[in-house]
Amino acid sequence: MKLEKKVALVTGGASGIGLAIARRFVAEGAKVMLADINVEAGQTCAEELGDQCAFVEADLSGEAGAEAMVKATVDTFDRLDIAINAAGIGALAPIVDQTIEQWDGVLDLNLRGVFLSTKHEARQMVAQGDGGAIVNIASINAQQASEGMSAYCSSKAGVEMFTKVAAMELAEQGIRVTGIGPGLIDTPLAAPLIAFDTIREDFLDNIPAGRMGTADDIANAALFLVSDEATWVTGTTLFVDGGELTKRFPALLHKFAELQQEGGGPG
């Protein structure tokens, strides 16, 4: 029960990595607020996790959504000790064809959403006066470029650097800010990629550990980073990727072009 008497807020908590982290935190004794734009899924997950969990609808592309979710957490559980900023989306498009709407959609949630969430989470922790821990979910694409993913890679690189700056600014208030950079994780976000045999095999060929990660792999890392075992860890991003960063990222645009020419589908 490493998180007994702690209150955690998890954005993107209705699926994938966010949900796995929420489940792990509840199992470790925390009370958890799930924040997500998907109301039906969020309410279902909160009910599944029981009395230690609640749900708040949150659109994190704007400041009002971030402020409201922190307020809902405090109104429900009286305080905020831990925040996991996991909400995010991806997009695949060549730079010359990418629309402003695609670019802004990814950057608004993945980077601005992390900034706004951290801003209001940290304000609450500062007001409480006894510190806290914030974890921002980045990606190996914070450091590993991928064709067709300019918006996503840029947003996650921004998350990694923002995490460093936030850690510097908030250390005096006893607030630790760290990041996690997942590799290929078997989640709904990755499903469109790994649905194709050739793309899935190309990913696996470039993961020295020989398998995709699971959402529980990331939950394990998150638990360490917010626990008392990591009290001297701040400002860093922990890459949980089976060694994926040591090799290369698949050439997705070329892979999909080849599949279209061959008339291939998922399988």
pLDDT mean across residues, the chain: 95
Burial class of residue 129 (count of CB atoms within 10 Å of its CB; 0-12, 13-18, 19+): exposed
- Would you say residue 141 has pLDDT above 90? yes
Interatomic CA distance for residues 240 and 101, integer angstroms: 30
CATH number of the domain at 7-262, out of 3.40.50.720, 3.10.110.10, 3.30.460.80, 3.40.30.10? 3.40.50.720
Q: Which of 25, 152, 162, 249 is catalytic?
A: 152
Q: Could you tell me how far CA 264 lies from the centroid of its own chain? A: 31
pLDDT score for 230: 98
Interatomic CA distance for residues 170 and 127, integer angstroms: 12
- Containing H/E element for 157? helix 150-170
> Is residue 22 within 8 Å of 44, Cβ to Cβ?
no
pLDDT score for 267: 60
Per-residue tokens: 161: 């650097």
Instruction: Name the band, by pLDDT with cuts 50, 70 and 90, for residue 159.
Output: very high
More confident residue, 129 or 250: 129
**Per-residue model confidence as pLDDT tens digits over 75-132:** 999 999 999 999 999 999 999 999 999 999 999 999 999 999 999 999 999 999 999 9
Per-residue tokens: 63: 């400041």
pLDDT score for 255: 82
Per-residue tokens: 166: 């936030």
**Per-residue model confidence as pLDDT tens digits over 15-61:** 999 999 999 999 999 999 999 999 999 999 999 999 999 999 999 98
| Residues 6+ positions from 96 with CB-CB distance below 8 Å | none
Known active-site residue 197: no
